[in-house]
Structures are given as structure tokens and as C-alpha cells.
Amino acid sequence: MTTTQKQNEGSAGIVAWHDFTFGETEETALRLDCGKRLKNVVIRYETYGTLSPAKDNAILVEHALTGDAHLAGKYTPEDKKPGWWDDMVGPGKPFDTDRYFIVCSNIIGGCSGSTGPGSVNPDTGKPYHLDFPVITIGDMVRAQKRLMEYLGIGKWMAVAGGSMGGMLALKWAVDYPDCTNAILAIATSPQISTQSISFNWVAREAIMTDPTFYNGDYVTQPQRGLAIARMIAHITYLSDESMQRKFGRMLQNSDEYSFDFAKDFQVESYLNYQGSRFVERFDANSYLYITRAIDYFDIADAADGDLTKALSVAKFPFLVVSFSSDWLFPPYQSWKLVRSLLQNGTDVTYSNIISSYGHDAFLLETETLGDMIRNFLINRYKELTEQ
């Protein structure tokens, strides 16, 4: 069955993004967890496929830390790269655009079209920079809820996400349990580990101590700081095994050590490249705000630290997937989630996929993960439409 479906897989094609703006007045402004309100909120989003007349086939896909609303397809035929989860989203693909209406939106706090620290503060007419309020995963979801209402969708068929995107999916489950029929939480956690908080801290320190950071009021990106932040993060997305396999101790330009501090090893050159590419597409202030939101995220907060109780509102099936070599969101964190769901009697399917790709596996193990998502969604849709 799977093979024939794969033969029929196609691209999402040429796609376009849209902007939705809300909160022009004090009353309609977005209420934030920190107590402040955010006005004139823009949400950049893309959609793929067609919403059914019964509006029962809408799936929200959440992106990770540095992702955006461009999930699949290309804006123009000349684009070098398609959207970030193009392998998974399209006609005949696991998120099958022939069956489902897929929505992806850039989170608030980001820098890819939605309101973030780089946006203009309507009260001052100048960019927010560090005056942007500290936002949470809950705030991001609350903003998406407005988009959902705007799109006329009463209930998602599923909310899906990997990494930070999985946190948003979990937040939907707990904050808006009546608004979804399933959750797909991939390579994620009900709260991040002390180790991950530490990496985020070091990344932010790298950015904030860059002499060109100017307390967030930079005109051009604080390149060194942001690149270092990215290099650190990039290491946490890989695994010892995948790095060993990809680079080993191979040297970049010669067979001998240079006996200076230039890039000798291939892995050094690779990281440097990743860092410099990142600076071209991401905003340093956004990086601070989003990593902070990740640090603060704890789904158990909804019930004073009782994860099981917090999740008890979720009465729909979950697909939870972790990857064996993921040390940023280790499998034990997914188990923690699964344990609570089981205790609540919630339908849950959990797989810990054996992979050497580390955290990045959620973007790379498209075969196994894709089959799981495909079948989970097919069965869920069948159950919902036969009810």
C-alpha cells in the first residue's frame, strides 16, 4: 500500500503566504502571559489543500525554533529550496494535501513575517527590539487561536509539531482541548531539560555579549554572537554518532595540522558555514525571545506541576514519537508524556525510532516517521468521519 502511495506523491506546487492582522484596539489586542497586551498582531501563514465543506479536515502544523510558515512547495519555480517539511506535506504525502487542509503559521516573536521584536511598536512608531514583551509558548498558541477563528475552523482534525513545534501542539491540547481531535508530538517534551535551558542560556549570552548587539538596537545582525548561538544549537541537533560518521577527524584543506587556530577540521568548517548561513535568515532578538519561551514552557504549569492532571483535559488520541539518539529532547521526556497520558486513559501511540541522526532525525527520518503520520491521520480521519 505504502509503495503505491509513494509513487503518487507530488509536490505542494507553487504556494503563497498570507498575512492576518488582529488586535487593533485595546480590547482585541492579544493578552500575554506576562500581563501585557500586544497590539496590531500580524500572523504570517500558508495553507495547502482544500478545507472540506464540513470543515473537518484541517490540520495545523507547528514549526520549530527557527522554522517559518513555509511548510512545503515553492513560491516561484526558480526557488532553490522548497518549504521546510516538503518531504511530508503534499499530494499523496503523509500530510496529504489531497485529503487534508494544512495550515502552518509563523509564531509570534519570530522574524519570518509574524509580529516579533523586529516589528514596529504601534505605540512608538519604532521597532520593539528589547521592548518587545517576553512571550511564552502559550502566547504563541493564543495568537494562533485567533487565526483559527479567522479561517472559520471550529476544530482542528489534528495539531502536529516537532521540537518546539511539538510544545505548541501540546499547549493546544491543554489550553484548547475542545479545539482539536488529535495531537502529534514529535521529538518534543512536556518541559525542556536543564541541559537544554543551559544551552539556550549560552546561546543568548553569545548574542548579548557581541559588541555589535547594542542592547538589541543593532541595525545589522550581531553576526558573531548569532552565528555562535547557531553553532552551539546545531551541535545539539546532531549526535555523537552522526557527527563521527559525517566528519570523523577529517581535515579541511590539507593532510597536516596548520598549528594555528584556523579551521583545520571539516566539522569546524561545517559549523562555521551553518553559523554564517543562519545570520542571513534569522534575527538575533527573535532568537532571544523564542529560546526564552522554550525555557519557560512546562505543560504541567496548568495544574500546579501535576503533568497527569494538566493533560487530563485531553480526550483525543496522541501520536508521540522520539528518536533514540536525540539528546536535546531525549526519549525519557516523551516517556514522561506517554506515562501521564496512559494514566489518564488517553489513546496514545508512542514510538522511539532507532536513529543516529539525533534531534534532527525528526526532519530526516521521513520514511518511518512519514508512514506513522500517514497511517495515524488516515485512521483518525476515518474514525471522525464515521462517527
Partner 1 sequence: MSTRHYNNTDELLLERHDLQTIRDMIPAGSRILDLGCGSGRLLKVLKEQKQAKVTGVELDQQKLMQCIERGVPVIQGDLDTDLGEFADNTYDFVLLSRTLQSVHRPDLLLQEMLRIGKCGIISFMNFGHINNRIPLIFGNMPVNRNLPRPWYNNQTIHPGTIADLRNLFRELKIRVIKEIPLSNRGDFLPFLGKVWPNLFCSNCVFVIER
Catalytic center residues: 163, 326, 359
Nearer to partner 1, 135 or 319 (CB): 319
Minimum distance from residue 381 beta carbon to partner 1 (Å): 11
Minimum distance from residue 380 beta carbon to partner 1 (Å): 8
d(CA 253, CA 2): 44
d(CA 64, CA 30): 22
Query: Length of the chain, please?
Result: 387
Q: Single out the residue of 175, 205, 295, 371 in contact with partner 1 (rule: CB under 8 A).
A: 371
Cell numbers at 146, concatenated: 485567533
Residue 367 touching partner 1 (CB under 8 A) = no
Q: CB atoms < 10 A from the CB of 358, how many? A: 25
Distance of CA 247 to the CA centre of its chain: 27
d(CA 39, CA 44): 15
In the block, cell 487534508 appears at 100
Which region among 163-171, 212-220, 255-263, 370-378 touches partner 1 (by CB under 8 A)? 370-378
Give the total of residues touching partner 1 (CB under 8 A).
Answer: 24
List CB contacts of 160: < 8 A, sequence separation 6 or more: 59, 60, 61, 62, 95, 169, 183, 184, 186, 373
Minimum distance from residue 372 beta carbon to partner 1 (Å): 5
Which residues in the 110-149 window bind partner 1 by CB under 8 A?
Answer: none
Distance of CA 246 to the CA centre of its chain: 25
Q: Single out the residue of 347, 364, 366, 384 in contact with partner 1 (rule: CB under 8 A).
A: 347
Cell numbers at 283, concatenated: 534575527
Nearer to partner 1, 169 or 372 (CB): 372
Which region among 17-25, 92-100, 281-289, 338-346 touches partner 1 (by CB under 8 A)? 338-346
Cell numbers at 386, concatenated: 464515521
d(CA 323, CA 117): 33
In degrees, rounded to 5, the angle at the alpha carbon of residue 160 between the alpha carbons of residues 156 and 162 is 160
Q: Single out the residue of 121, 193, 366, 375 in contact with partner 1 (rule: CB under 8 A).
A: 375
Q: Single out the residue of 351, 364, 366, 384 in contact with partner 1 (rule: CB under 8 A).
A: 351
Residue 366 touching partner 1 (CB under 8 A) = no
Q: Single out the residue of 11, 352, 364, 366 in contact with partner 1 (rule: CB under 8 A).
A: 352
Minimum distance from residue 243 beta carbon to partner 1 (Å): 24
Q: Single out the residue of 21, 277, 342, 385 in contact with partner 1 (rule: CB under 8 A).
A: 342
Residue 256: C-alpha distances to residues 248, 252, 253, 352 (Å): 15, 10, 9, 41
Which residues in the 260-319 window bind partner 1 by CB under 8 A?
Answer: 317, 319
**In one letter, which amino acid is 367?**
E
Cell numbers at 184, concatenated: 502529534
Which region among 104-112, 114-122, 230-238, 349-357 touches partner 1 (by CB under 8 A)? 349-357
Residue 368 touching partner 1 (CB under 8 A) = yes
Footprint on this chain of partner 1 (rule: CB under 8 A): 317, 319, 335, 338-339, 342-343, 345, 347-354, 368, 371-372, 375-376, 379, 382-383
